[in-house]
Structure 1
């Protein structure tokens, strides 16, 4: 058995669970086995991005857990950061143009 942590931070609360899963278990299977989905019913565990210690894992189904892993469940982005920055820059340029 391998001991890992599964963590998710919603807007209003955070949950960290310590669980033991069989060696060789995939990340997504370990998250589902943790039972964290019961505490966050709206969370799509089958499709949400997962990471380990702040680094997104590309294929969460294929990567096996390692002892001490902290599997993080990420929320979907509400807005694309690049798009938000582009809009902010355009707004600032317009303000400079009008002020000149």
Structure 2
């Protein structure tokens, strides 16, 4: 019998968020959990097979091989609309006016 562990998969927009609890087989990877979450049912614009992922706010370099531990929360990251350095420069320029 294969043991199961409980994990969560989360995705958020500024106005809406969703956290899905899943029971996955021990040895499942970060990407496996995201694909099992069916997050596309709530956010069809998200490409689950290529999205950047993390666990508790820490980005994962290789989600296809990172094995999950019980209780972890996998986060699906959105693409940045603007480079953070450029955003800071824009705010600084606006504040200087």
TM range (shorter): 0.7 to 0.9
CA drift of 1:46 comes to 1.2
> In the alignment, which residue of structure 1 is the partner of 2:50?
47
TM-score normalised by the chain length of structure 1: 0.83
Kindly report the root-mean-square deviation, in angstroms, between the aligned alpha carbons of the 2 structures: 1.6
Gaps of 5+ in 1: 96-100
TM-score normalised by the chain length of structure 2: 0.85
> In the alignment, which residue of structure 2 is the partner of 1:66?
69
Gaps of 5+ in 2: none
> In the alignment, which residue of structure 1 is the partner of 2:60?
57
Structure 1 stretches of at least 4 aligned residues deviating more than 3 Å after TM superposition: 86-93
**Count of residue pairs brought into register by the alignment:** 94
> In the alignment, which residue of structure 1 is the partner of 2:15?
12
